[in-house]
């Protein structure tokens, strides 16, 4: 890298001292907070089966799940605000500052849920306070994604951005996997009545404690954006961001298809296997745990693949396969009776998702200049994720309650097709990206 490059990219120059070892240390530190953030977020999704009746008295299990899924979706609608606030903070005051604050906010939300009284104790205030906690977590995650994706893409360096930045989803999936593993352990230690009474609180308290460790690790992070870049009038500006309409539309389209597909195959899949396929809870936890382990291990391989073939080709493969495969995969899953068959089908779906998840952050970071990169990655992602990713469970359960569950399968396929169109429109960021290319995007 020449001495002029960091000034163009807005990155702090790497020295001989800050090479591989320092970069890996920075990736681990940034990823630790990401793991805690997503563990806390998914702990809600996976334990809601047990605490739904504590906050939403109802004779219908589907009605209780709809209520908790609704609050899960509301958390997603705070993400655009989080993407804007933390994106501005990261572009104007540094990536490190933004990431430190976001993990603290997630900790507060998780601790609040873990200690929250139930409907039986405080009445309607119980679901209200649950909503407040989820809104805080949504705000936090909305800021975490864009800033962490930007930081990891910048610190990775040319030639290995796909591989190293893929660890964002390694830890994202790791957080989800940790939530599943803890629930799996609790299911074998506690009775079903104990889990519904108080055991569901344990994962949230663990998450709050984990944030302390993440704070200590993030405290030593090296900043990746220069002081001069942060002082530009365009830094963190919505007006400056709107000058990159093509990048914004591509990011929105990628998130519409990618997030909906990802949440369908992960967080909603647990409820799908219980509610539709009728597998028992322990079998579902085993299937999802094994599938997520494989999914997590695949991320660096597919990230490295993108370093060789380009991010655009990765996205074409993901969106094309998802558009064609979503309906037959989900239809086949709805008809299985064996957990082994369910595992094979879920793993097939997750392999398709890996083409996207492994590069989810870097493919967007390459589309924006440094002074608006965190905002550009975080805000459009948060908007599309709120509208399509966060509502995946609610939309799917609504279709099921109306007796038209198969329409949801087509909904997933159509959104993947939108991402496919954006993939064809996307430039080759190896030549026209703001990290490794010449910083110009063709119209």
Dump pLDDT digits (tens) for 92-130. Answer: 988 888 888 888 888 888 888 889 898 888 887 888 888
Residues near 97 by Cβ (< 8 Å), separated by ≥ 6?
89, 90
279, two tokens: 């597998």
pLDDT number for residue 14: 45
Q: How far is CA 278 from CA 64, 289, 335, 405, 409, in A?
A: 17, 18, 10, 15, 18
pLDDT number for residue 365: 92
pLDDT number for residue 7: 36
pLDDT number for residue 2: 34
pLDDT number for residue 58: 65
CATH fold of 28-432: Growth Hormone; Chain: A; (1.20.1250)
Dump pLDDT digits (tens) for 185-240. Answer: 888 898 878 888 888 899 999 988 888 788 888 877 888 888 888 888 888 889 99
Residues of the chain below pLDDT 50: 1-10, 13-18
Residue extents of the structural domains in the chain: 28-432
Q: What is the phi/psi pair of residue 11, to 5°? A: -100, 155
pLDDT number for residue 440: 65
Cβ–Cβ under 8 Å, residues 65 and 275: yes
pLDDT number for residue 438: 65
Residues near 66 by Cβ (< 8 Å), separated by ≥ 6?
394, 397, 398, 401
pLDDT number for residue 64: 67
Give CA–CA dist 248/272, Å, rounded.
32
pLDDT number for residue 267: 80
Region class of 358: left (phi > 0), else alpha (psi between -120 and 50), else beta: alpha
pLDDT number for residue 5: 37
């Amino acid at each position: 890298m020449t001495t002029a490059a960091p000034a163009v990219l807005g990155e702090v120059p790497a020295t001989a001292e800050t090479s591989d070892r320092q970069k890996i240390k920075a990736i681990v530190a940034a990823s630790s907070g990401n793991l805690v953030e997503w563990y806390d977020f998914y702990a809600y999704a996976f334990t809601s089966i047990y605490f739904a009746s504590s906050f939403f008295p109802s004779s219908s299990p589907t009605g209780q799940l709809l209520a908790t899924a609704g609050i899960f979706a509301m958390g997603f609608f705070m993400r655009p605000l989080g993407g804007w606030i933390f994106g501005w903070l990261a572009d104007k005051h540094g990536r490190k500052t933004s990431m430190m604050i976001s993990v603290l906010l997630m900790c507060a939300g998780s601790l609040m849920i873990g200690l929250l009284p139930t409907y039986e104790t405080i009445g309607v205030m119980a679901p209200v306070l649950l909503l407040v906690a989820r809104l805080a977590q949504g705000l936090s995650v909305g800021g975490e994604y864009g800033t962490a994706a930007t930081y990891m893409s910048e610190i990775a360096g040319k030639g290995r951005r796909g591989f190293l930045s893929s660890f964002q989803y390694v830890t994202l999936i790791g957080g989800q996997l940790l939530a599943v593993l803890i629930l799996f352990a609790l299911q074998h230690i506690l009775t079903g009545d104990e889990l519904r009474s108080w055991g569901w609180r344990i994962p949230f308290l663990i998450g709050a404690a984990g944030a302390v460790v993440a704070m200590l690790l993030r405290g030593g992070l090296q900043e990746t954006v220069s002081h001069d870049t942060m002082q530009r009038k365009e830094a963190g500006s919505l007006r400056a961001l709107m000058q990159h309409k093509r990048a914004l539309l591509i990011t929105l389209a990628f998130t519409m298809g990618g997030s909906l597909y990802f949440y369908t195959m992960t967080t909603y899949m647990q409820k799908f296997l219980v509610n539709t396929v009728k597998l028992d809870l322990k079998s579902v936890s085993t299937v999802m745990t094994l599938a997520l382990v494989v999914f997590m291990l695949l991320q660096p391989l597919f990230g490295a693949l993108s370093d060789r073939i380009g991010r655009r080709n990765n996205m074409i493969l993901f969106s094309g396969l998802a558009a064609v495969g979503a309906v037959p995969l989900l239809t086949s899953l709805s008809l299985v009776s064996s957990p082994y068959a369910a595992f094979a089908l879920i793993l097939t779906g997750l392999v398709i998702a890996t083409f996207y998840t492994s590069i989810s952050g870097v493919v967007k970071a390459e589309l924006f200049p440094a002074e608006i990169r965190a905002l550009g990655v975080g805000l459009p992602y948060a908007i599309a994720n709120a509208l399509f990713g966060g509502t995946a469970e609610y939309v799917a359960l609504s279709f099921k309650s109306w007796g038209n569950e198969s329409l949801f399968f087509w909904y997933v396929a159509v959104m993947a097709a939108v991402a496919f169109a954006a993939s064809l429109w996307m430039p080759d960021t190896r030549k026209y990206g703001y990290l490794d290319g010449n910083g110009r995007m063709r119209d």
